[in-house]
Structure 1
Amino acid sequence: MRKANRAGRWSGAALAAALVVLPLPAPPVGAAPQFIPVSQIVPGMTGIGRTVFLGTTISEFRVTTLGVLPDAGPAGDLVLFRASGPAIEAAGGLAAGMSGSPIYFGGRLAGAFSYSFPFADPMVGLFTPIEDMLNGVSWRSRREGPRVVAVAPFSLGGRTIRRVVLGRSPDARPDTSDPLLAYHWSTPRLDRLSIGFDDGTAVAVPAATPLFVAGLGPAAAEAMGETFRPMGLIPMAGAAMADLPDTIPLEPGSAIGVALMRGDVAAYAIGTLSYRDGDRVLGFGHPFIGLGHSGFVLTNATIFQIVRAQQHNLKVGAAGSPVGTISQDRPAGVGGVVGVLPRMFGVRVAVHDDDAGTTRQFRFQVVGGKDLAPFLVAMGTHGVVDRALNRSGEGTAEVRMTLHGRMLPREVERTNIFYSGSDITGQALSEVPEALDLLFENDFADVAPTGIEIDVRITKTRQTATITDAELPQGPASPGETLRTRVTVRPFREAPVSRDIELVVPEDFPAGGAMLVVRSGGVAPAEAGPGGAAGSGGPGVIRDLAAAITQFESREKNTDVVVELVAGARGAASPADAERSRVSTRWTTRWILSGRFQAPIMVRRGSR
């Protein structure tokens, strides 16, 4: 097993090893701090919290308990507290990015900061007891607790609070499936989280987790935001991952990063380490994205500044060197191991701008699971192509994709040419989802995906053509007969080009009415055969991984003129007839084509 190092290496057994370490048992004597159970916590107790306000130095702040909210959290109780002291007052209070800051009473670990009150007093928050974090990450999370919890009265933003409602994310309102809560939430006074259901009720939500994104353009960053914001993440432009030494001590109170992407494109959250027992760690006190079993990159981190804001303050920082794996993402927190890195999915994108005479290459990695990798790859590739072009609009793009997987029989490659009059980046990458589907979601085998290479050559020159004429044979046709069709295409602002294309009618082609079609490639034919079969432009009948690979590599391209003979409904009445009810041939040109001609034709029974 390889250990983490600054070169960012990892072994194939890394994730498996991480999952073996969890669930977490009780810590060995002397290896982890002593705990204080929530049953011993009462209002008025004073203790300390530990977090990083600047750089990598851990600082302390004072904590005074206000009460215990029984069974209020996703894994058990929550503890209400007020923070104070010079360091946290100078920072403006609790902040997004402090999630996981450990809290101690009498030197014993009580839990980790996890919930805050948006638009209210930033000195008041909730922490998740450490025993619930251990149990929640180690085993299964408990049911959600009551939506409204009575508390001993305390002051919050000039109001006296007697009830607390637990929301699900910083941008989400509480679940209103309960008719009473729905009625209260719909009243005009309740248009903001800080107002709550009445003057004596406050809403607490998981402490916001900033998701810093670097290397993406505005469109890709916004798309990422739409996906992750409902999970409680706050996507925002961030710095590239910092070049921090991996020897920085990682201890409770240290700033940590949890990365989804790293390299020339990065996406990571900033939080705080709550607990460490040898190589095993816990953090956040609430979920990251709630994935359950996961394989995120654990990094050290540095804090640049804490920015004050009306809704919630914000720790601004950067993730650093990979130091481990977050292998559990549960309602009560995240857990993992230090020293073993997860398996990642590698992406290389090369963009050749023929007009500018430049070539730019980008490399990044994304978490390797099928739940996130396809989306992250799509967002990342779109972002780096936009960066390389530094423009949008019209263009022609030649794209070559090479797919890698440990269980693939060989490298899988596909090339095609695309044109768009308004968004060449989006059009050029339109087949990337299909490639990722083959790697992550094919029906036949786990190919253990390891990476994808995408080479894009783009020019503003328009390389399109239209099929302007097709001289189709009259018929009738017989099995074994060669049908000759003369096809004329007119390239954009060039002279027309004609070619004779021959198509042989198979001996077993169904007799009866059929349709002879001339069309541009890269689009599904108008009629699909029964049983899921389709022509060469559609998915076809795929029975195993080898066929899926062949179909991906060799299916029609946008530069193809396709001549196909399609049997009528009676000729393809069953799945058994589907494959023989359609036959086609192609003429591959150098232009992206459009246009379609078709005519009916009879096919005789038997040979000529």
Structure 2
Amino acid sequence: MSLKNRIRTFWIATLLAVGALGYSLKAYEMMTIEEIKPGMEGEWRTVISGTEVETFPLRVIGVAGHFVGPDQPVIICEAIDEKNVLSGPVAGMSGSPVFIEGKLVGAYAYGYSWPKEQAIIGVTPIHNMLPVFENKDIEVASSGTINPHWKSVELTSRDRLGEYKSVLKPLPAPLIAAGISDQTLQAFQEEFDKLGIQVMNGPGGSSMKELTGSIEAGSAVSAILMQGDFNFGATGTVTHIEGDQLLAFGHPFFQWGNVEMPLAQAEILTIVRSLPASFKLSNTGGMVGRVYQDRLTGIAAEIGQVSPMTDYSVSVEYPNFDDKNYSAKIFRHPRLSPVIGAMATMEALRGVLEYSEEQTLRVKTRVKIEGYEPIEVTDVFAGTGVESASAFQQMAIHQLISDNTFDSPPIESMEVEVEASPVTEIIYLEAVYLHQDTALAGETVNLTLQMKNHQGKRFSKEVAFKLPEEVRKERVELLVADALAVDKVEFEGFYTASNFEHILERIADLKSRDHIYVCLLRRSPGISLEGQHLAGLPPSTLTLLKNVKGLKIDKDTLRESTFEMSIPVDAEFRGSAILPLTVD
């Protein structure tokens, strides 16, 4: 349908049902921006309690052209009722439809922070929002860095009054993490900063009752990032409904473009009045559809079809206490979803810290990827900060799977099983004694490892291994190390992959912290080519490969691991040592 036809009179009043939920189509005309004059009075419609849409009066001040870009004007209005003058612009009002003379004008979307005895608001014209309906069926691609156009510039220390400045900016759909502590949010603040996201923790989450009633212009809806025992989402307001499609917010959520994000009906608990910025406190109901466009002038959603989500669960076993089990569903996004999942894991693990400051966690993460056999990663974390180390490792695994240059299949489920104990179980490597400086190919090499536990008790362990027959007449290095040190040496701080399967292989090869690793390293110049390590190449071959046009060489490599053994220990092992060995 053309933009011109859309601005004409819409359907006769109708109510359609979608399962137990309906969406309301009411007859109204649309007013063009050329018709709007200063002094006109109208109203906006929104929910301030429960799910009932109410109306509030406003007056037009004028129109500002080229506000958020070329041909992107904003209509400047002021609220004229006492309640809204008191509260000022309210986050969560974003998308509230504005009517003048019974005609739809646009969406309440912008406001001044730190208002004083007035509520000046900016309205996104409806004709600038209607194009967001287009391209509904475009396939979602991996998103780039999240960067909402209104993200504030960080102020320098010289600008001491900077936080009190009042600027006309989009009223955020309050992005609230419910069931997540402020300590956990602070741990992930750097990750959210990279993505340009501002998050607050607060009450809210899933509604304790089934939400009823139809969705109409002015209804509250939530874009869902996580729902379950942990909740993470943003609430805004519906501007316009056309068939089974709706427009909301009046400004971008993240400005991702084509998206797949669940949409839920919402109820408003109350308006929290605040000098910097008032906001709606809300709960979410059941999923009712999906957001498929996130653009400069608003989001577009479809009622009925719901976006697929990843099933997430974490269970924690702790001696002498009841097991704790948590579950949620997480929306699928290559960069944000790993952060959300790890945040939930950390919060679940923080619950065991009330029993003991120092812990040992034995963690098993099971990931089911569409079209592949499940992947399992086990590891041990001991001491202080174990909840952080475990959560960030999970985030790294999730990022490897979802945020890469390949056409990654979706993660269907992620299960985290944790066995916790209230003691620190760490073994430190103090010294390695090699019983001989030289050995013959195929001969047994003997080592003595000198170690101590977390309490300082020293002990030793004898280790023996047989040299490979192919290693002869050369000087090698013997590496005794923990998981992190072995990974660093083997991959030389660098990893690449030529296909998705290489990524899965890399995850499967992750070392576990409850093992001692003994490796034999050979000096073997080579290259890393499309994710594969080609070692032991003659100088002439290396020169030839490096000069082949179009051949992508990732990195020169200096050595390879020709032998590896692992020794399990009942603790986290830390430390490393490299010893030279001559093989005759």
Give the TM-score normalised by the residue count of structure 1.
0.78
Q: Which 10-residue stretch deviates more, 556-565 or 594-603?
A: 594-603
The answer to whether the 8 Å contact 1:291/1:329 transfers is: yes
Residue from 459, 474, 477 that aligns with 1:496: 459
Alignment of 1:98-497 (within 5 A): 98-121=93-116, 122-136=118-132, 138=134, 169=150, 172=153, 192-194=164-166, 203-223=167-187, 231=196, 233=198, 235-354=200-319, 356-390=320-354, 393-408=357-372, 410-420=373-383, 422-441=384-403, 446-492=408-454, 496-497=459-460
The answer to whether the 8 Å contact 1:419/1:427 transfers is: no
Q: Equivalents in 2 of 1:296, 1:224: separation in Å?
A: 22
Residue from 61, 72, 75 that aligns with 1:76: 72
**TM-aligned CA deviation for residue 65 of structure 1:** 0.9
The answer to whether the 8 Å contact 1:482/1:505 transfers is: no
Q: Equivalents in 1 of 2:41, 2:501: separation in Å?
A: 66
Q: Equivalents in 2 of 1:190, 1:485: separation in Å?
A: 63
**TM-aligned CA deviation for residue 515 of structure 1:** 1.4
Aligned length: 527
Kindly indicate whether residue 64 of structure 2 is the aligned counterpart of residue 60 of structure 1: no
Aligned to 2:543: none
Q: Equivalents in 2 of 1:258, 1:585: separation in Å?
A: 49
The answer to whether the 8 Å contact 2:342/2:392 transfers is: no
Q: Equivalents in 1 of 2:198, 2:481: separation in Å?
A: 47
**TM-aligned CA deviation for residue 572 of structure 1:** 2.9
Q: Which 10-residue stretch deviates more, 24-33 or 106-115?
A: 24-33
Alignment of 1:10-25 (within 5 A): none
Aligned to 1:565: 520
Instruction: Evaluate the alpha carbon distance shift between residue 548 and residue 23 of structure 1 in structure 2; reply closer, same or farther with a 3 A threshold.
Output: farther
Q: Equivalents in 2 of 1:280, 1:432: separation in Å?
A: 37
**TM-aligned CA deviation for residue 556 of structure 1:** 2.4
The answer to whether the 8 Å contact 2:259/2:294 transfers is: yes
Q: Equivalents in 2 of 1:486, 1:593: separation in Å?
A: 16
The answer to whether the 8 Å contact 1:290/1:329 transfers is: yes
Instruction: Evaluate the alpha carbon distance shift between residue 303 and residue 544 of structure 1 in structure 2; reply closer, same or farther with a 3 A threshold.
Output: closer
Q: Equivalents in 2 of 1:490, 1:226: separation in Å?
A: 36
**TM-aligned CA deviation for residue 390 of structure 1:** 3.3
Aligned to 1:3: none
**TM-aligned CA deviation for residue 416 of structure 1:** 1.5
**TM-aligned CA deviation for residue 263 of structure 1:** 0.6
Question: What amino acid is the match of 1:337?
Answer: E
Q: Equivalents in 2 of 1:25, 1:371: separation in Å?
A: 39
Coordinate RMSD, CA, aligned = 3.4
The answer to whether the 8 Å contact 1:244/1:301 transfers is: no
Question: What amino acid is the match of 1:69?
Answer: A
The answer to whether the 8 Å contact 1:419/1:428 transfers is: no
**TM-aligned CA deviation for residue 404 of structure 1:** 0.8
5+ residue gaps, structure 1: 1-20, 141-166, 175-181, 195-202
CA offsets, 1:568-588, max 9 Å, x none? 3xx335543267554221211
Instruction: Evaluate the alpha carbon distance shift between residue 186 and residue 584 of structure 1 in structure 2; reply closer, same or farther with a 3 A threshold.
Output: closer
CA offsets, 1:535-568, max 9 Å, x none? xxx7778665555434423442212222222123
SS at match of 2:485: coil
**TM-aligned CA deviation for residue 327 of structure 1:** 1.5
Q: Which 10-residue stretch deviates more, 327-336 or 549-558?
A: 549-558
Q: Equivalents in 1 of 2:161, 2:449: separation in Å?
A: 70
The answer to whether the 8 Å contact 1:214/1:237 transfers is: yes
The answer to whether the 8 Å contact 1:287/1:333 transfers is: yes
**TM-aligned CA deviation for residue 423 of structure 1:** 1.5
Instruction: Evaluate the alpha carbon distance shift between residue 580 and residue 384 of structure 1 in structure 2; reply closer, same or farther with a 3 A threshold.
Output: closer
CA offsets, 1:447-466, max 9 Å, x none? 32112111111112222223
5+ residue gaps, structure 2: 12-24, 137-147, 528-533, 537-556
SS at match of 1:133: helix
CA offsets, 1:29-53, max 9 Å, x none? 4166321111111111121211112
CA offsets, 1:116-138, max 9 Å, x none? 11112442211000010112553
**TM-aligned CA deviation for residue 106 of structure 1:** 1.9
Question: What amino acid is the match of 2:393?
Answer: E
Kindly indicate whether residue 511 of structure 2 is the aligned counterpart of residue 556 of structure 1: yes
Aligned to 1:150: none
SS at match of 1:549: helix
SS at match of 2:128: helix
